[in-house]
């Protein structure tokens, strides 16, 4: 394994019996001793490792090539490298990052069917050979820039049951695959396999079955033309959240059956996948601070005594009964880590909850939760019900690992939310990360920036 240093980050090793939640408590307590109440993302690396173990037991035949675009935090990439995963890169930048961690080029698939020529040349110069294509133009480009590329034909598949559809943008129709293979042959390019993506947030495992069957058809055509294809890439689309309507184990069971039917072990075809959100969604929690608050009192017609006990109703200073709605402003929002609310149909809502434990019978109030920028589109939740929060209190949001920090901006002068990493000693030993950049559990660093 190549030497590895965390340039931007340190990992906090959890002491015996300590959990990632305890770490959040500790950090919040430490913040209370300072003026700094910046939001942070807590990444639990044990969770990433557990996802990998679950992958191995459910899909033993399928080698994961993690989709770097989803969350390119160096410790996550390093853990996945250390357990033997490969990487799906979509650009020169991602290839550079993965190579810089010591990953061998053969563990990278450049899985973007429409690439910039200079990025193809970079891949060629650095020994990255596997790459996808879905058009003749792409084949012409690749033959100019990377003659020894090992090509994977990306198929458009039925993604009608997915929350994020990708085949509208990428993938060749099954009907055009013969023509594409012939063009590759005429250009003397090597085509080693087929890939597809059933769409993110796939709600029907039959989509994988249909796509695997389509891939079989392309393998058959390729055989007729004299290609010896050896790789099937079943893409991403595996659920990130644990409570997603279609579970990972159900999808995996159906994939295993379909592989057995269309690509039995004896056929010698290697199978890879490009999971993104599956690996990282649940590993990350956003911890954000209430930086401002407004109480909105809206006048109501007189109510009976019973109705007056409803917590969200109150008296205005002039004695009239009013609906009480809270507006909270957090220090992270849609231009920061929560861009998913605007662009990720597979995770278009979040559920903030208070760090402070509510007292028994504490009333809850309807609230709108805003992000920090001056833009009114910067809203996290329009109708949450929470116990009353004060400025300086903390709200937590789970399932924040996928397409969050990596898509955030510094719009309006708000800095990107920093990430802190935790893992248990067991995980540290298991993946054998070097220790100089790892903090002991009695050390908590508070950023003063």
Ligand X SMILES: Cc1ncc(COP(=O)(O)O)c(C=O)c1O
Q: Shortest gap between Cβ of 398 and ligand X (angstroms)?
A: 17
| SS3 labels along the chain | CCCCCCCCCCEEEECCCCCHHHHHHHHHHHHHCCCCCCCEEEEEHHHHHHHHHHHHHHCCCEEEEEEHHHCCCHHHHHHHHHCCCEEEECCHHHHHHHHHCCCCHHHEEECCCCCCHHHHHHHHHCCCCEEEECCHHHHHHHHHHCCCCEEEEEECCCCCCEEECCCCCCCECHHHHHHHHHHHHHCCCEEEEEECCCCEEECCCHHHHHHHHHHHHHHHHHHHHCCCCCEEECCCCCCCCCCCCCCHHHHHHHHHHHHHHHCCHHHCCEEEECCCHHHHHHHEEEEEEEEEEEEEEEECCCCCHHHHCCCCEEECCCCCEEEEEEEEEECCCCCCCCCHHHHCHHHCCCCCEECCCCCCCCCEEEEEEECCCCCCCCEEEEEEEEECCCCCCEEEECCCCCCCHHHCCCHHHCCCCCEEEEEEHHHHHHHCCCCCCEECCCCCCCCCC
Compute the C-alpha angle 58/62/67, nearest 5°.
100
Choose the binding region for ligand X from 75-83, 116-124, 275-283, 432-440 (rule: CB under 6 A). Answer: 275-283
Residue 159 makes contact with ligand X by CB under 6 A: no
Comparing CB distances to ligand X, the nearer of 114 and 217 is 114
Does 236 bind ligand X (CB under 6 A)? Our answer is yes
Among 171, 193, 275, 387, binds ligand X (CB under 6 A): 275
| Least Cβ distance, residue 161 to ligand X (angstroms) | 13
Is 238 among the residues that bind ligand X (CB under 6 A)?
A: yes
How far is the CA of 342 from the CAs of 129, 243, 334, 338, in angstroms? 35, 21, 7, 8
336 binds ligand X (CB under 6 A): no
Task: Pick the piece of the chain touching ligand X (CB under 6 A) from 232-240, 305-313, 319-327, 433-441.
Answer: 232-240
CB of 111 to ligand X, least distance (A): 4
- Options 277, 288, 328, 428; binder of ligand X; rule CB under 6 A: 277
Active-site annotation holder among 21, 54, 374, 406? 374
Interaction of residue 237 with ligand X, rule CB under 6 A: yes
Total number of residues that touch ligand X (CB under 6 A): 16
- If binding is defined by CB under 6 A, does position 288 make contact with ligand X? no
At 266, list the tokens: 């004896």
Question: From CA 269, how far away is CA 232, in angstroms rounded?
Answer: 7
Q: Is 239 in the site for ligand X (CB under 6 A)?
A: no
Per CB under 6 A, 86 contacts ligand X: no
Interface mask toward ligand X for 94-133; x: CB under 6 A? -----------------x----------------------
Taking the complex as a whole, the smallest distance from the CB of residue 27 to ligand X amounts, in Å, to: 28
CB of 174 to ligand X, least distance (A): 18
Per rule CB under 6 A, is residue 399 in the interface with ligand X? Answer: no
Distance CA 290, CA 284 (A): 19
Residues 160-179 as x/- pattern, contact with ligand X by CB under 6 A? ------x-------------
Q: Given the rule CB under 6 A, which of 117-125, 233-241, 349-357, 413-421 is the region that contacts ligand X?
A: 233-241
Return the number of the residue (199 or 333) whose C-beta is nearest ligand X: 199
Nearest CA among 398, 336, 341, 405 for reference residue 74: 405
- Residue 276 vs 352, nearer CB to ligand X: 276
Nearer to ligand X, 173 or 316 (CB): 173
Asked if 197 is part of the footprint of ligand X (rule: CB under 6 A), the reply reads yes
Please confirm, yes or no, whether 374 is among the known catalytic residues.
yes
Among the listed residues 70, 89, 101, 221, the single contact to ligand X using CB under 6 A: 70
**Looking at 183-191, 268-276, 347-355, 430-438, which segment touches ligand X (CB under 6 A)?**
268-276
Of 46, 81, 138, 274, which one interacts with ligand X (CB under 6 A)? Answer: 274
Q: Does 276 bind ligand X (CB under 6 A)?
A: yes
Binding region for ligand X (CB under 6 A): 67, 70, 88, 111, 166, 197, 200, 235-238, 274-278
Residues recognised as catalytic: 374
């Amino acid at each position: 394994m190549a030497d590895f240093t965390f340039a931007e980050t340190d990992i906090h090793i959890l002491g015996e019996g300590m959990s990632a939640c305890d770490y959040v408590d500790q950090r919040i307590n430490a913040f209370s001793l300072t003026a700094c109440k910046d939001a942070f993302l807590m990444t639990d690396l044990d969770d990433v490792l557990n996802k990998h173990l679950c992958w191995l037991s459910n899909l033993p035949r399928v080698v994961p090539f993690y989709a770097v675009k989803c969350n390119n935090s160096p410790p996550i990439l390093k853990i996945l490298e250390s357990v033997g995963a490969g990487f799906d890169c979509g650009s020169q930048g991602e290839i550079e990052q993965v190579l810089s961690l010591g990953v061998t080029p053969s563990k990278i698939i450049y899985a973007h069917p429409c690439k910039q020529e200079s990025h193809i040349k970079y891949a060629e110069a650095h020994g990255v050979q596997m790459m996808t294509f879905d058009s003749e133009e792409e084949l012409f480009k690749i033959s100019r820039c990377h003659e020894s590329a090992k090509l994977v034909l990306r198929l458009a598949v039925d993604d009608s049951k997915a929350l994020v559809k990708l085949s509208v943008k990428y993938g060749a129709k099954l009907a055009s695959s013969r023509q594409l293979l012939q063009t590759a042959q005429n250009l003397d390019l090597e085509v080693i396999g087929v890939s597809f993506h059933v769409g993110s947030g796939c709600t029907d495992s039959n989509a994988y079955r249909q796509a695997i069957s389509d891939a079989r058809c392309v393998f058959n055509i390729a055989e007729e033309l004299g290609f010896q294809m050896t790789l099937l890439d079943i893409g991403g689309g595996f659920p990130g959240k644990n409570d997603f309507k279609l579970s990972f184990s159900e999808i995996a069971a159906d994939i295993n059956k379909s592989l057995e039917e269309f690509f039995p072990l004896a056929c010698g075809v290697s199978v890879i996948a490009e999971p993104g959100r599956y690996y990282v969604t649940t590993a990350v929690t956003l911890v954000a601070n209430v930086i401002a608050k407004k109480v909105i009192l809206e006048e109501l017609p007189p109510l009976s005594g019973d109705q007056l006990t409803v917590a969200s109703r109150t008296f205005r200073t002039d004695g009239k009964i009013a609906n009480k709605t809270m507006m909270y402003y957090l220090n992270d929002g849609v231009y920061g880590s929560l861009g998913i609310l605007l662009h990720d149909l597979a995770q278009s809502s979040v559920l903030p909850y208070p760090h402070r434990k509510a007292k028994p019978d504490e009333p809850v109030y309807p609230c709108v939760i805003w992000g920090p920028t001056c833009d009114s589109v910067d809203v996290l939740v329009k109708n949450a019900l929470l116990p009353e929060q004060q400025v300086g209190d903390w709200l937590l949001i789970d399932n924040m690992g996928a397409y969050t920090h990596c898509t955030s901006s510094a719009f309006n002068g708000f800095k990107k939310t920093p990430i802190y990493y935790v893992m248990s000693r067991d995980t540290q030993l298991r993946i054998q990360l070097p220790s100089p950049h790892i903090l002991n559990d009695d050390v908590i660093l508070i950023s003063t920036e």
